[in-house]
Amino acid sequence: MSGRLLRKVLKEQEQSSISDPTAESEPDSPAAAAATPSTSSTTETAKKDEEEIVEKVIEQEYPVVKNNSDVTTASNRKSKKKKKKNKDCLTSTKVKAEKSIDSVLADLSFNTKSSQEVEIENSRAQKNEVQPGKKKQGVKSVLLVDPKHLKAENELRKIFGSKVVNSFENNHSAGTSRQMHGGRRIGHNPRKTILVSPANFWPRWDGSISMEMLEIKNGLHYFRYVHSASYQHAQQAFEAAKAINDINAIASILAHYPYHIESLLTFAELYKYSGEHQASADAISKCLFALECAWHPMFTPLQGNCQLKYTHETNKPLFTALFSHMKNMDRRGCHRSALEVCKLLLSLDLDDPKGALFCIDYFSLRAQEYKWLEQFTEEYGSDTSLWLFPNFSYSLAVARFHLERETAMEIEKSSSIDLMKQALMLHPSVLQKLVEKAPLKDSVWTQILKNSLFGSAKAGGPTLEHLINMYVQRNYLIWRFPELQGLLKDAALLVIESSKQNSSEAKDWACVRKEAFSSEKNEYSHLLVSDFSDTTPSLPPEELQQFMAGPQMVHEMHADDIGAAAGRVPPPREVEGRNAAIVFLESLLPWIHYGDDRDEHDQNVN
């Protein structure tokens, strides 16, 4: 029962009790004995009777056992009421009845909110309640995202100053607004988001996407994006346009549905491969703005206890947009913000479908978060086997090297030179790739690579070979620093010297490497090495339409299939069993023909 309904019931009972006190009071109650029809009753007696009636009704409505403090409070309340004799009897009774109701609700902790609001507040209270020395349930503390470092604008202001960043943003916003809308447009303030800062000229959020909670399991909340009917209609039009590689049709979809995620991602790829990186970043920001506006009230991904499984098709665009957003911030030099996005990307799905685990060490080193990297390696996962991966084995040595220089004192853990020797013995084939990619042109590297331990080293399997290529492509810039080249050189010379004294040590590390990566198949073939590169190749305009289906699909296509897809091949004459909306959209295109023209085309081909 809500508080308003309770007051209404008490008011009706109060009025009936005042009109006929003997009907509501018990026969042996003090109120019934004192209530007589005598006309000589004083105002004070009537006032006392009404107070006792109201209190009796409250006691009947909430038959609870009161403690000593409640009794004392009730007696104090009665003594205060008796002192007010100059007020009207009925008004005084109503005010005191309301006070009694409020006190009862407070004593009973009576919640007048809806069940959904109660569930949301309880969930948030559990998330914010962290006991000292304990981690939050279902997530490692190292994956908690700091919202202060999540936006690139905050990091740019810290580097260049607020005046420079604000001036650039104002000029860019004005130019982009005129370019997109052909003139001035009255802006509005869209809702505030934590992932990106929306521009004033962006369209209002249309609510075409929402999110639903699936289940709560092991302290993790599982969610999934849901598309509305209008969004599904736009999705069908997008699929039809993508099937015929019609970029103009996709642009028309964005004109009617400005927050269609797949269309924005498509244009982001086109802008990226045509060299317009700022336009690509703006399209990605729009995607993240729309996806964040659709978040469920209980979806709090910064706390690390929410899961969006990549297996759901509607969740995949968020992972693609976050990964592209992370690379855009890295290109702008905002490595701290890129690290926070990488942590968010890894926490949303612990299966790591986008390979955030293989670039998080790079961003932590560029952001100078050396202690965090060591803590992450120790706490992430159920064991401490992360150091077996090539990127972590070398990055941990680099992090320890910087920590030694910062503290200027010995650390109780292994030294950086020992960690680097361990990394070289575990993955010796990395050295040759780094020397070629960095490149390291000192003559000493030629002498080092002549040694059989490094010159003829093999990765040992397709999985490990793929991971090493990803690490070299992502982290080769770090090894251009002279101090790190000195560390690598000293460690390599020590490894060569120790291998001459004990040849069995290299065999032992080879056994460890083979046991850790024993699969005969590439377990990370879904991760493209080009996705971890900081360079983007530019393509001619006539070849850009091949990437509408995504680089992953083009990578898997045969060369002949790509050439066939680039040409305009008339659609099949048979339309039976096909989607009527797609066929209708195809029929609107001027180069699409059905019927006899198809037969003429077949004859010309033959």
Q: Could you tell me which residue, 154 or 109, shows the higher pLDDT?
A: 154
For residue 506, the model assigns a pLDDT of 86
User: What mean pLDDT is reported for the chain?
Assistant: 74
The stretch 525-543 carries a mean pLDDT of 79
Listed residue (111, 107, 96) closest to 55, CA to CA: 96
Alpha carbons 49 and 158: distance in angstroms, whole number: 71
Band (245; pLDDT cuts 50, 70, 90): confident
Alpha carbons 534 and 331: distance in angstroms, whole number: 7
Q: Are 416 and 404 in contact (CB under 8 A)?
A: yes
Q: Could you tell me which residue, 412 or 252, shows the higher pLDDT?
A: 252
Would you say residue 137 has pLDDT above 90? no
In a domain, residue 495? The reply is yes
Q: Could you tell me which residue, 240 or 128, shows the higher pLDDT?
A: 240
Would you say residue 300 has pLDDT above 70? yes
Q: Are 303 and 139 in contact (CB under 8 A)?
A: yes
Per-residue buried b or exposed e for 104-134, using 16+ beta carbons within 10 Å of the residue's own CB: bbeeeeeeeeeeeeeeeeebeeebeeeeeee
Q: Are 306 and 299 in contact (CB under 8 A)?
A: yes
In a domain, residue 395? The reply is yes
In a domain, residue 278? The reply is no
Cα–chain center distance at 226: 16
Q: Are 305 and 127 in contact (CB under 8 A)?
A: yes
Would you say residue 354 has pLDDT above 80? yes
- Residue 17 makes CB contacts below 8 A (sequence gap 6+) with 23, 24, 25, 50, 53, 54, 57
For residue 138, the model assigns a pLDDT of 38
pTM here is 0.67
For residue 170, the model assigns a pLDDT of 66
Would you say residue 66 has pLDDT above 60? no
The stretch 155-184 carries a mean pLDDT of 59
What SS3 state is found at 66? coil
Alpha carbons 363 and 474: distance in angstroms, whole number: 10
In a domain, residue 402? The reply is yes
Band (566; pLDDT cuts 50, 70, 90): very low
Would you say residue 3 has pLDDT above 80? no
Q: How far is CA 425 from CA 373, 387, 450, 499, in A?
A: 22, 13, 16, 10
Alpha carbons 400 and 34: distance in angstroms, whole number: 87
What SS3 state is found at 48? helix
Q: Are 307 and 220 in contact (CB under 8 A)?
A: yes
Q: Which residue has the tokens 């703006």?
A: 282
Q: How far is CA 124 from CA 129, 133, 309, 501, in A?
A: 8, 20, 22, 60
- Helices 462-475 and 390-407 cross at an angle (nearest 10°) of 40
In a domain, residue 119? The reply is no
- The parent domain of residue 460 ranges over 383-526
3-state secondary structure 389-448: CHHHHHHHHHHHHHHHHHHCCCCCCCCHHHHHHHHHHHCCHHHHHHHHHCCCCCHHHHHH
Listed residue (583, 434, 427, 420) closest to 506, CA to CA: 427
User: How many domains are contained in the chain?
Assistant: 1
Amino acid in position 204: R
Alpha carbons 479 and 439: distance in angstroms, whole number: 9
In a domain, residue 330? The reply is no
Band (239; pLDDT cuts 50, 70, 90): very high
Alpha carbons 207 and 290: distance in angstroms, whole number: 8
Per residue in 445-494, pLDDT (tens digit) is: 999 999 988 988 887 789 999 999 999 999 999 999 999 999 999 999 99
In a domain, residue 208? The reply is no
In a domain, residue 484? The reply is yes
Q: Which residue has the tokens 């997109």?
A: 180
